[in-house]
Amino acid sequence: MTEQLTGGCACGAVRYEADGEIEFSFNCHCRKCQQATGTGHSSAFAVAANQVQFQGEIREYKASSDNGAATYSGFCPTCGSPLTSRTERFPDRIYIHAATLDDPSRFSPAFTVFEEAAQPWDPPMKELEAAPR
């Protein structure tokens, strides 16, 4: 299913349009996502990197994910909203934080990732399966 997805950061300095298909959607409970979002997990979806057009500056920082791969987390330098992340494991893919969607109700997570790092005050959704690794 192809659908156009639009969204942006909290202050409006960064906007994006994604034309491609959502490859998959997930909630990630890893420590890096907890720190980047300020809460118990991130909710994100993956699209092909060449299907997304961004407007405005995104700044990235490099970190290691809980499985050791280098990841690059993108945020708006003005308002700090987390927007994207990329991992060297899947260079053709970009992950976009679900709450940045203009219509976040279009997001529906299919998987839980790093559920073992979940905090007791933000447990993984029971109906979701752990992602294949």
Residues of this chain that interact with Zn ion (CB under 5 A) are 9, 11, 13, 28, 30, 33, 76, 78-79
**C-beta separation of 11 from 19 below 8 A:** no
Angle 71-72-75 (CA atoms, 0-180°, nearest 5)?
145
> Toward Zn ion, which CB reaches closer, 48 or 131?
131
CB of 36 to Zn ion, least distance (A): 8
> Toward Zn ion, which CB reaches closer, 35 or 50?
35
> Toward Zn ion, which CB reaches closer, 28 or 47?
28
